[in-house]
Amino acid sequence: MEQNKILDKLHIELISPISEGGMGVVYEALQHGTGDFRKVVALKLIREEYSAIDEFRDNFMGEAKLVADLIHTNIVQTYHLGEMDGQYYMTMEFINGVNLAQFMRLQRNSGQYLAIDLAVFIVSRICRGLSHAHQKCGRDGRLLGIVHRDVGPRNIMIAREGDVKLTDFGIAKALDLMYNEEGHTIVGKDAYLSPEQARREVTDARADLFACGIVLAELLLLGNIFEDEDGDAQATRENIRSLEIPDFREYREDIDEKLNTILQLALAKDREQRFQTAIEMLEELEKYIYSDGYGPTNEKLAAYLAELLP
C-alpha cells in the first residue's frame, strides 16, 4: 500500500514486472504528465529494506549518476533518480524486446545456429556502447575509468527494432562514483568474469572485452565454454582462469580463421595480449562483417527477432 501511495505521488502507473531480484524489481510503467502526456518507461524500484543500507544506497545512486551522462544509442538511457519516503527509484528507457539470454533461449529452441554475421553484429554494438563508456570523462575533464564488470546476456537488450543496448551498470566501477572492494571480493556473474576478476585482481576496461568474447562465443555455439556443467561457481571460475581456449573452427565448420583469431584475441588470459580497447575490438568485428561492402543492420536483426518471437 505504501508503494502505491509513492507511485501515485510520482504519477507513475505500473503495467507489469520485467525482472525481479532480491534487492528490487524492474517494471514496465507509464509516466503521466500534464495534458494526458504519457511515456512508457522502465521503473527500477529498490526494496525499502535495501534503501536503508548505506553501501547499497550509495551504489544505486552512483549507478544513476554514472549512467545519466552516458548518452549513447547502445546504452539504455537513465531519465531520473528519485527518493520518496525512504524508497529509491530510477526511471529508465523502456526497451520493447528481449534480453540476450532470452534471445539465445529462443535460438536454441529453433534447433539452428544463429547466423555468424548477426552474432558478430550484436557483439560489435556492445563494443560501441562500451567504447563510449570507457572513454567517458567527468565535467572536470578527468577520465572516469568506467569498467562495467557485468557484461553478460542478461544485461544486453535487443529491441524489436533491432537496437542492441547495454544496461545495468549497478556494479560498474568509476572514479569517485561507485563503491567497490576490488582485490578482496569477486564482482560479476561467474560465467562471464575475466581471468583477472576471477583472480580478485584490480580490473580495467579490458575485463569487459573478455566478457564480450565469452558472449560472442556463446552466441556462435549456443553454450558458454567456461560454465561448469553442474553449475559449480568455483569450477567455473577455475575454467576461466586456466581452461585452454579452443580452436573454435573445430566446434562449428563455418567459423573461419579470421573469426577464430578475433575470438582468441578477445579471450586471451593475459590482458596485455587481449584487445586493448573496445574501439579496437569493434573495428575488427566490423571489418569482419562489412569487408564485402554490405553486412547486417538493425533492420536485419529486427526481422530475425520477429521470426524467433512467438
Question: CB 215: neighbour CB atoms within 10 A?
Answer: 24
* 68 and 138 inside one domain: no
CATH number at residue 50: 3.30.200.20
Owning domain of residue 204: 97-308
Greatest CA separation found in the chain? 61
Q: Report the range of poorest mean pLDDT among 42-51, 157-166, 197-206, 284-293.
A: 42-51
What is the full DSSP assignment across 194-228? -HHHHTTPPP-THHHHHHHHHHHHHHHHSS-SSS-
Q: In this predicted model, which residue has the larger pLDDT, 266 or 5?
A: 266
* 175 and 267 inside one domain: yes
Q: Give residue 180's pLDDT.
A: 57
* 120 and 159 inside one domain: yes
Question: CB 234: neighbour CB atoms within 10 A?
Answer: 10
Q: pLDDT digit string (tens) for 81-137?
A: 888 777 788 899 999 999 999 999 999 999 999 999 999 999 999 999 999 999 999
* 259 and 161 inside one domain: yes
Strands of 156-159's sheet in order across: 97-99, 156-159, 164-166
CATH number at residue 131: 1.10.510.10
* 167 and 280 inside one domain: yes
Burial class (CB in 10 A: 0-12, 13-18, 19+), 200: middle
* 137 and 198 inside one domain: yes
Of 47, 75, 93, the one marking the end of a domain is: 93
* 124 and 58 inside one domain: no
Of 51, 71, 93, the one marking the end of a domain is: 93
Q: Give residue 6's pLDDT.
A: 53
Of 93, 114, 141, the one marking the end of a domain is: 93
* 54 and 116 inside one domain: no
* 66 and 103 inside one domain: no
- E strand or H helix at 242, and its extent? helix 233-242
**Which residues is 89 bridged to in the sheet?**
45, 82
Q: Give residue 216's pLDDT.
A: 98
Q: pLDDT digit string (tens) for 139-191?
A: 888 898 999 999 999 999 999 999 999 998 877 777 655 555 665 566 678 99
* 48 and 76 inside one domain: yes
Q: pLDDT digit string (tens) for 14-71?
A: 899 988 776 778 999 998 888 889 999 999 888 878 778 887 787 788 778 878 889 9
Q: Give residue 89's pLDDT.
A: 87
What predicted TM-score, i.e. pTM, was given to this entire model? 0.91
* 193 and 65 inside one domain: no
Q: How far apart are CA 111 and CA 126, in angstroms?
A: 25
Provide the domain count of the chain.
2
Helical ranges in 69-171 per DSSP H: 100-110, 116-134
Question: 310 pLDDT band (50/70/90 cuts)?
Answer: confident
* 178 and 284 inside one domain: yes
pLDDT at 291 over 60: yes
Enzyme catalytic residues: 150
